[in-house]
Structure 1
Amino acid sequence: MKSNFVKAVTRVVMSGIVAGITFTSGALLVSADVAVTSGSDNYAKPSFEPEYQQVSKKNTNDIAVQVLGINDLHGGLDTTGEVAIGDKTYANAGTVSRLATYLNQAQSQFKKVTKSDNTLRIEAGDIVGASPANSSLLAHESTMHALKAMKFQVGTLGNHEFDHGLPEFNRILTGQKPGKTADTLVKKYPHRNSGIDMVVANVVNKKDDKIPYGYKPYLIKTVNQNGKKAKIGIIGLETSTLPSLTLYDNYKDYKVLDEAQTIAKYDKVLRDKGVNAVIVVGHTGVKTENKVTTGPTVDILKKVNTLAPDNAVGLYLAAHSHQYANAKVGNTHVVQAVYTGKAYDNSWCYVNPKTGKFTNVIPHVYPVLSAKDDPKTTDDQSVAEIVKDADKRVNKKVNQVIGYAAKAETITGRLHNNANKENAAGELVVDGQLFGAQKAKLKPDFAFTNTGGVRADLIVNKRQAITWGSAVAVQPFGNILQVVTMTGSQIRQALNQQYDENQQYYLQVSGLKYTYQKSTDTKQLYNVKDIVDNHGNAVTDTQSYRVVINDFLHGGGDNFTAFKGTKLVGAVGTDTDTFVNYIQTMTSTAKKVVPPVLDRKTLIQ
């Protein structure tokens, strides 16, 4: 199954084949010392990869090490969808049972070609959180069971590991029993230690500067081949933007240290211990698109090269941005395998047993192909049984019909935004939140939600029915909805904050419409102009309004600081329950759920 990928590049010093990616000229000078080079993966399966057919002569005396990585699984036990890798898009990719098989195939091929048993399986954070019901209703312990069955050895923290507080994540990581108030489904589910060693170097307790729960800043793995030994260091990183990505109560006890400074610090610690080959697993974003690789991970590695020009970091497993990446920043290769188990990265690394340094790193990213695209590859039965068991346990709750749509058509979410960053599922969510606050007699004017909280399309089945599971997949967090008082000026500020970070974070809005136009300020792409309510009345800067937001936004989440500290009027309940209740009410009043018209944001010239 050979893909039709076209080779891509961002910047090179010279043309040629470097560590498994073909580069061509296209200068983008980063600095005198740090180049960023990007390439596209050309094959859908590692068994077709020319570089994985034999060991290069220059590496025959080296120790071969394979790193198999995933990121941002989000409890997607049976999640499928399109995945874009390079300039090729694969349909219906995913599920952990197929991922497990592909990881096993990749490991078998590596062993056959290199005669090496040195394979590390690493996950780069957000393994849980914002998940479908067969993970979330079981407190994500089903996902931990699947990871254990897939033999993952090392992991780091993402922001979603904090969704219910780090103590709860540590409980499911180590297989401890839940508390007395836990749901019966959770209490009855088997509790098992995942066996994953958590490495996170830049999260420390505020009280004593120690890493919580005995997690380690790094691990040292000894690798052996043909009587030769070497050591590999693995440094783990949380994103330093954690405070803007989770509730205050969940991170208030911790400090998150600068990523680059942390890498430089522990790179030196490892080298002082005789470890000259270092891997970083970091929950920081990156993407390779249109021959360019950008993102926080690139910036971090540039800074690392300034702080420690002689660093030993040869491979960086990135995460968080849910995008494809395969690039090289300075001497460090960077990969990211999209998200929700639709892809995986496979890096063949060679270590000189005398110097302990990487002599060659060959990274690639591959899709988890559907059974239609690769019928000869079958699901891993042990993992499939875990998913089947989880489905059975939550089936009654998940399949409960809560309402009906006007048409038997999926109401699409944030993966299907229009040009103005509006999506039907997201606006249905905020319409429901406005309705819920009205029902609670809190007299709201408007409702806003962060689009990152709208996690999925709203699936409508052939009978036009909407199930509990479908609704919860859209709103899985259970954030508390609050009604706050805001001036029109603060509302304008919040809307403008959508456009100050290249629209990385944006809002779904209800109860108002606005126009916006392009700005001459390079730090503010657009400016909001006219804001009106649903009756056509102007929203004025000096007037006060009541606005429904979740507690994540109220804490300044996603860097929407305009919401932070606004006066609380009252609480509505959880966003999950409010959305479910809205769909139920729409149906009980003989109305059908209809996708909103996407006309709330208008770009003007």
Structure 2
Amino acid sequence: MKKSPLMIAAISAFALAELTTFAPEFRAEAKEVKVTTQIDYKSKPEQYKIKSKNKSLIPIQFLGINDLHGGLERTGNAWIGNTQYKNAGGAIRLAAYLNHAQQVFKKSNQAGHTFRIEAGDMVGASPSNSALLQDESTMHALKAMHFTIGTLGNHEFDEGLGEFHRIVVGGKPSKKYNSAEMKYPHQNSGLNIVISNVVKRSNNKPPYGFKPYMIKTVKSKAGKKVKIGFIGILTTTMPTLTTYKNYHPYKYLDEAQTIAKYDRILRKKGVKAIIVIAHTGVASKVDQQTNQAETSGPVVDILKKLYEIDPKNSVDLYFAGHSHQYSNATVGHTHLVQAIYSGEAYDDVIGYLNPKTHDFTKKGIKAHVFPTMSAEQDPSIKDDKKVGAIVKDADRRTAGIVNQKIGEAQAARSLTGRDHNNKNDENETGDLVVDAQLAGARQAVKAQELSVDFAMTNGGGVRAGLAVKPDKSITWGAAQDVQPFGNILDIVSMTGKEVYDVLNQQYRNYGAGHHTYLLVSGLKYDFVPTNDPKQPYKVVKVYGNDGKPIDLNKTYNVVINEFLKGGGDFFIQFKNAKQVGTAGVDTDVFVNYIKAQKPLIAPKLDRKNLVTGN
């Protein structure tokens, strides 16, 4: 995800966490925890075997991904350190690279064991060939790639956790979807979900039989056994990341305290090699001039807190997700990795277990994050045929819906999306989406005595740029890729002062990490830099499209999605706004708006104006 030069906001720890309490004797005085950042320079794995006289060591490989988001064919430009890999990603290439990495590992470690794990958001906000099949095509692909252990991300809650559980176990649809989904084969994914800090409000137990941790036993050539523990974690910021009806049935326990709790439980069971699989984000920064790198963000804060609770913890490896960034670092003795998103990269971590200590050797863990390069960039790695067949089948089943032409653009070029924001956090597709929502809301209340003045949506809710074909046509699938959630649009009343307040919430500095911003229609505004580190920018003038300033005391009607209405992305001002109407489903509204444009013209990016001194 592209960072704005205006602000790097964080996933803050103030979320509605339910904290686990530990006995005082478990807390010890901690030393300063060192954070060391590595940069991966190589694009593919090389043979690696630890030099040791101990012949009983057990080689272990962990291949990890995060934030696939149903990206069966989606590609992007992956930055790993200072190197950019164009058109990286896609499930077909990802499968091929995972197989290659395992083969390289096996050449040097014939008695080795490989685990393939994923750190949440495997589904949700997905392109059409996954979304139209309720993401079951993605689950088929993950099964074909031999992923066996995973944890929950926030997008696993998009349609309710029950629906995600259904596709994990291969159950039949609980309600009627499109014909393509109803005819799609429903099969058990073979994926074991571990989640320790999400429990039902009703009984304080993990939902759907998910386990808080998992123990796997591996053997050496001589038959010596060592246990490995896996702990699953989800960010406690869930109340800001999905709708109320989806997050409210559950409690989200403090990440660090929960890890410490289960680390202690596992150690009592004789497990000393412990892996955390967590959907919590990293903020990684690489200076292009000096090649110096820094790692910060929620994961670092969580691990530092863990070391405060228990400096002698046994967490050896932490797989992160959620922030869609590359990271390779160590925090204390814990190795930390995150592999961007959408299969653009993958984690390849190799370690050696000592049956005598039941733990990893001190210098035996080697962690890398490698790119999933395109066939053009790396023809030596051949596409995976098995996953390719799954993707091709998904394309065939959804083609009738996806390829429907719904409109035509003025120019034969795709509209920019969030990966190409301008300096003020605007992009053409995002502005088009809010224009569509404003027009759709006005149409929806046309027969009522109700006006709609403005539209606002969260930048993260616009998932892609709008693809335009060479003949200028726009398809249903292209529109769905932009607005995949199917959120209800709510119309709320807000005073002019409250409009100012919510616009200013985008510029609050929560620290390093998560970046949130609003896209607007029906209004424009000026904002200025400040000397306040907690509020680096301030909105000073808001005016309608007619150029007239809005009245602080007047009430305006604003159309927003239900995610924002629940206070999503920390825009808590919307949570308190009075709902006065609804305007349909965001995907449908966007499709209908494109149909009505003859032709569709890319919006001018002039709604946010940064005013600086002379």
TM-score if structure 2 supplies the norm length?
0.91
Is 2:339 the partner of 1:337? yes
Q: Give the residue type in structure 1 aligned to 2:243.
A: L
Q: Distance in 2 between matches of 1:119 and 1:411?
A: 42
- Aligned counterpart, 1:205: 200
- 36-45 vs 106-115, greater mean Cα deviation: 106-115
Residue pair 1:288, 1:327 contacting (<8 A) in 2 also: no
Cα 1:58–1:452 shift into 2, 3 Å:
farther
Q: Tell me the distance in 2 between the aligned counterparts of 1:336 and 1:536.
A: 45
Residue 265 (str. 1) matches residue 257 (str. 2)? no
Residues 1:548 and 2:559 are matched in the alignment: yes
Which residue is equivalent to 1:11? none
Matches of 2:96 and 2:529, distance apart in 1: 48
Stretches of structure 2 that go unaligned for 5 or more consecutive residues are 1-29, 287-292
CA distance in 1, matches of 2:560, 2:326: 32
Q: 1-side partners of 2:70 and 2:522: how far apart?
A: 33
Whether the aligned pair in 1 keeps the contact of 2:176 and 2:182 (CA below 8 Å) is no
Q: Which residue of 1 aligns with 2:6?
A: none
Counterpart position of 1:374: 378
- Once the two structures are superposed, residues 275-308 of structure 1 have per-residue CA deviations (whole angstroms, 9 ceiling, x without a partner) of 0110000000003222111111010000000001
* Aligned residues: CA RMSD: 1.2
**Whole-angstrom distance in 1 between the partners of 2:127 and 2:528:** 38
Q: Distance in 2 between matches of 1:59 and 1:519?
A: 61
TM-score (norm 1): 0.92
Rounded to whole Å, the distance in 2 between the matches of 1:457 and 1:235 is: 36
Counterpart of 2:248 (choices 248, 252, 256) is: 252
Q: Which letter does structure 2 place at the counterpart of 1:599? A: D
Count the aligned residue pairs: 567
Q: Offset at 1:411?
A: 0.2
Corresponding residue of 1:597: 604
Shift of 1:61: 4.2
Q: How far does residue 62 in structure 1 lie from its aligned partner after superposition?
A: 2.1
Cα distance in 2 for residues equivalent to 1:582 and 1:597: 17
| 1:570 aligned partner | 581
State the 1:377 CA deviation. 1.2
Match of 1:510 among 492, 516, 521: 521
Equivalent positions of 1:522-561 (< 5 A) are 522-561=533-572
Q: Match of 1:37?
A: 36
Structure 2 residue matching 1:499: 3-state secondary structure: coil
SS at match of 1:309: coil
**1:130 matched to which residue of 2?**
125
Q: Retained in 1: the 8 A contact 2:169–2:189?
A: yes
Number of the residue aligned with 2:487: 479
Q: Any residues of structure 2 matched to 1:17-166 within 5 Å, and which?
A: 32-47=31-46, 52-57=47-52, 61-166=56-161
1:425 maps to which residue? 429
Point out the more displaced range, 493-502 or 527-536: 493-502
Gaps of 5+ in 1: 1-30
Residue 351 of structure 1 aligns with an amino acid whose one-letter code is: L
CA distance in 1, matches of 2:112, 2:365: 17
- For the residue of structure 2 that corresponds to 1:119, the secondary structure is strand
CA distance in 2, matches of 1:130, 1:324: 20
Cα offsets for 1:338-397 (capped at 9, x unmatched): 000111000001122111122221110011111111112111111100000000000011
1:315/1:361 contact within 8 Å kept: no
1:234 aligned residue (220, 230, 237)? 230
The change in CA–CA distance for 1:86 and 1:542 in structure 2 (over 3 A counts) is same
Matched residues in 1 for 2:179 and 2:53: separation?
58
Secondary structure, aligned partner of 1:314: strand
- Identity of matched residues, %: 55
Query: How far is the alpha carbon of 1:60 from its aligned partner?
Result: 5.2
Tell me: CA distance 1:32–1:180, structure 2 relative to 1, closer, same or farther (3 Å): closer
**Distance in structure 2 (CA, Å) of the matches to 1:55 and 1:352:** 12
Deviation sequence 1:497-543 (CA, Å, 0-9, x none): 00113671100001111111112222111111011000011112111
For the 8 Å contact 2:58–2:112, the answer to whether it is kept is no
Post-superposition offset of 1:443: 1.6
Q: Which amino acid letter does the alignment assign opposite residue 250 of structure 1?
A: N
1:533 partner letter: G
CA contact (8 A) 1:260 1:301 kept: yes
Tell me whether 1:194 sits opposite 2:189 in the alignment: yes
Give CA-to-partner distance per residue, 1:159-208, whole Å, 9 cap, x none.
00000000100000000000242322211000000000000000000011
Deviation for aligned residue 1:80? 1.2
Q: 1:54 to 1:348 in 2, by over 3 A?
A: same
Residues 48, 105 of structure 2: 8 Å contact kept: no
* Structural mapping, 1:243-392, within 5 Å: 243-290=239-286, 291-359=293-361, 360-392=364-396
1:443-483 per-residue CA deviation (whole Å, 9 max, x = no partner) reads 21110000110000100000011110001100000000111
Q: Distance in 2 between matches of 1:458 and 1:68?
A: 33
